[in-house]
Structure formats: C-alpha cells, structure tokens
Amino acid sequence: MNTLFGEKKAEAKKIVFTSVEQYPEAPISLGTTLSNFTGDWRTFIPVVNEEKCVKCYICWKFCPEPAIYIKPDGYVAVDYDYCKGCGICANECPTNAITMEKEEK
C-alpha cells in the first residue's frame, strides 16, 4: 500500500500558472487542495475487496475528491490522505466490492 501511495504522490504536482493564457477557461482541477489532507475528517474508511472488483471504475469516476486511483495492475486503490469517507464509492460500486468500515485512530 505505502509504495503505491508513493507513486501516486510523485505524479501529483501543484500546478503553477505564470500567464493568463495557461489557465483553463473554467476553474477545473487546479491542484490547489493537494496540500490540504482532507482525509483527516474521516470516521469510516472504504476498503476495496479485489476478489469482487470487476474494474469498471465507477468508483473512480464518482469519488468527489477524487481519492480513488487506478493501480498499474488495473485494480483501484484509495488515497487515504484525501478520502473523506463519504461512502459514495461503496454506494455506487455495482458488485459491492467496497465496504465502509469504522476507522481505528
């Protein structure tokens, strides 16, 4: 798990725009919350069961943060630094491969 998080973080960079032309037309995905670890807010934690996962990526699309990413083997993993534990992924997963479990702190 930890090594995968390492990979994920190496990819994600804060975006710095130096001229107005570089900005997207609408305010989408600015990378401004990268340093804001929204995972601190969580009570329940999503846990992925790879035996049930069919790699449909509905969870990936629906996660509002987005805290779900796709691993090199094609299965999904949760970036717990950002996952706020809302449970949308578990609710949307068609095979119930994601369960919400009480997090021990």
Partner 1 sequence: MEYKPIRKVVSGNYAAAYAVKHARVQVVAAYPITPQTSIIEKIAEFIANGEVENLQYVPVESEHSAMAATIGASATGARAFTATSAQGLALMHEMLHWASGARLPIVMVDVNRAMAPPWSVWDDQTDSLAQRDTGWMQFYAENNQEVYDGVLMAFKIAETVNVPAMVVESAFILSHTYDVVEMIPQELVDEFLPLRKPLYDLADFEREPFSVGALATPADYYEFRYKLAKAHEEAKEVIRKVGQEFGERFGRDYSQMIETYRTEDADFVFMGMGSLMGTVKQAVDLLREEGYKVGAAKVRWFRPFPKEELYELARNVDGIAVLDRNYSFGMEGILFTEAKGALYNTDAKPLMKNYIVGLGGRDFTVNDVRKIAENMKAIIEKGELDVEVEWYHLKR
| Interface positions with partner 1 (CB under 8 A) | 17, 20, 23-30, 32-33, 60-61, 63, 66
Question: Residues for the chain: how many in total?
Answer: 105
Residue 30's binding partner out of partner 1, ligand SF4, none, with CB under 5 to 8 Å set by partner kind: partner 1
Tell me whether strands 68-70 and 44-48 are parallel, antiparallel or unpaired.
unpaired
Residue placing its CB nearer to partner 1 in the complex, 11 or 51: 11
**4: contact with ligand SF4 by CB under 6 A:** no
User: What values do phi and psi take at 100, rounded to 5?
Assistant: -100, 120
What is the four-CA torsion angle of 100, 47, 63, 88, rounded to 10 degrees?
-20
Binds 17, which of ligand SF4, partner 1, none (CB < 5 to 8 A, cut-off by type)?
partner 1
Among partner 1, ligand SF4, none, partner that 25 touches (CB below 5 to 8 angstroms by kind):
partner 1
**What is the spatial distance between Cα 40 and Cα 42, in angstroms, rounded to a whole number?**
6
- Give the angle subtended at the CA of 82 by the CAs of 62 and 43, to the nearest 5°: 90
Hey, which residues between 29 and 88 contact ligand SF4 (CB under 6 A)? 46, 48, 53-59, 63, 65, 67-68, 76, 78, 83-88
Rounded Cα gap, residues 87 and 97, in angstroms: 12
CB of 33 to ligand SF4, least distance (A): 12
